[in-house]
Amino acid sequence: MKILFASSEAHPLVKTGGLADVSGSLPRAIREAGHDIRLVLPAYPEARANAGELRLASEMYLPGAEGSVRILEGRLPGTSVGLYLVDSPEYFDRRGGLYGTKKGDWPDNAQRFALFARAVCAIAMEHADLDWKPQLVHCNDWQTGLVPALLSRENERPATLFTIHNLAYQGLFPKELFKKLKLPAEWWSWHLLEFHEQLSFIKGGLVFSDWITTVSPTYAREIRTPEFGCGLEGLLQQRSDRLSGILNGVDYEVWSPEQDFLLPRSYDFEHLDRKADNKRALQQAFGLV
């Protein structure tokens, strides 16, 4: 299967949290299973610096960008996973964090990730002239929420999958940005992208994707309750027939007690007795012995 994996961060290119760990390890596992999977994310300066050799694969004009948008192609370091970086300097070539600075979020995050979504759709629909079309677009968290929405208007589109990593982060923006982004007027509705008089990027993924997954069966149940649903439990209940919880896997090369230099004593399956040394060290560190 041909899969386009869209994310706003991926280890070892750029990372702010667990999304990057999944986006860096899951595509590799899928590639090793025999699928043609390619990762796409914004061309942040750190991502470009860590990506290794890149080539200009495509250049195009998209709504919301003052200049051309370039697609840089390479490989996810240490893997055979194809990599696309969406290069729009006005939105992604800046100092600071991926989503903002210590003072707060970037004021143009809606424009930034709307453009990213349009670029992902261009790749998915072969409008980027990359001579490759995925059968599935796998989107992750609110930063890619507009991708399933935009693709829903296309004929002969790939299937879409949206994964919720943290429902608390929803990509909410003022109503005036809905108009500024020139999204279809009919999408401003409580059962589509409107959420308490705000534009909700995550609802784009929840409403329009063909299937929804989250990071565990437990979390899939929790987010359908008022306690954990963050105001979206009703929508998730409506889509429960298209919602699955899949427990995140573990990258044994990264999380290996045999090679973890932070442990007082390494161990493996044949030397489990060494775990007792680590327990004693932890107890001593907290004054429990």
Q: Which residues pair with 37 in a beta bridge?
A: 3
Of the pLDDT bands very low, low, confident and very high (cuts 50, 70, 90), residue 284 is very high
Q: What pairs with residue 160 in β-bridges?
A: 137
Higher pLDDT, 208 or 260: 208
CB 235 within 8 A of CB 207: yes
Enter the tokens of residue 148. Answer: 């399933």
The domain spans of the chain are: 2-255, 256-289
Name the class of domain 2-255.
alpha beta
Q: Are 69 and 61 in contact (CB under 8 A)?
A: yes
pLDDT, tens digit (0-9, with 9 covering 90-100), for 64-98 = 998 999 999 999 999 999 999 999 999 999 999 99
* Torsion-angle region of 104 (φ positive above 0: left; ψ -120 to 50: alpha; else: beta): left
Claim: this prediction has a pTM higher than 0.85: yes
Q: Report the first-to-last Cα separation within the chain, whole angstroms.
A: 55
User: Among residues 37, 202, 55, 40, which one has the least CA distance to residue 134?
Assistant: 37
Edge-to-edge strand ranges of the sheet holding 172-174? 172-174, 198-200, 194-195
Cα distances (Å, whole numbers) of residue 99 to 142, 194, 239 = 12, 22, 29
With contact defined as beta carbons under 8 Å apart, do 128 and 56 qualify? no
Rg of the chain over Cα atoms, rounded to whole angstroms, equals 21
> 172 pLDDT exceeds 90?
yes
